[in-house]
Amino acid sequence: MTPNPCVRGGKSLTKQHGKKTLNWQGGPLLNYETVVSLIGAAKTRSGLKVKAVLDTNQYATGNQVSVSVFMQIKLRKHKAHPDWNYTISPISPVIGS
């Protein structure tokens, strides 16, 4: 069974973002495919197009990262919504690039 995309972290997205999450641009958000399709159809005024693909892979959870490794992560927060928008750079240069 596919999890409900309108519920995240035990909180209803409706409570977080209002009624737009249930009825976005005149269409109900009933499944992931609808959400991915709407994201993929986004385009900015300057012409930036967005590509969205649903990742259905299973990933391990509960992995722990040591404090020393975590502190080495090159994290640059953006000015607009720094808790949401940031750039992560590699710790060391990628060999062969």
pLDDT digits over 45-94, tens only?
888 888 888 889 999 999 998 998 888 888 899 999 988 888 988 776 65
Domains held by the chain: number: 1
Residue 17 belongs to some domain of the structure: yes
Residue found under tokens 């967005």? 50
Distance CA 90, CA 74 (A): 7
Distance CA 42, CA 51 (A): 8
**Confidence band for 38, pLDDT divided at 50, 70 and 90:** confident
Residue 96 belongs to some domain of the structure: no
Residue 94 belongs to some domain of the structure: no
Residue 97 belongs to some domain of the structure: no
Residue 30 belongs to some domain of the structure: yes
Rounded to 5 degrees, what are φ and ψ at 46?
-80, -5
Does an H or E element contain 77, and which?
Answer: strand 74-77
As to burial, measured by CB atoms within 10 angstroms (0-12 exposed, 13-18 middle, 19+ buried), residue 36 is middle
Strand partners, 50: none
Residue range of the domain that includes 45 = 7-53+66-89
Report pLDDT for 20. 47
Distance CA 72, CA 91 (A): 7
Residue 1 belongs to some domain of the structure: no
62: alpha, beta or left? (left if phi > 0; alpha if psi -120 to 50): left
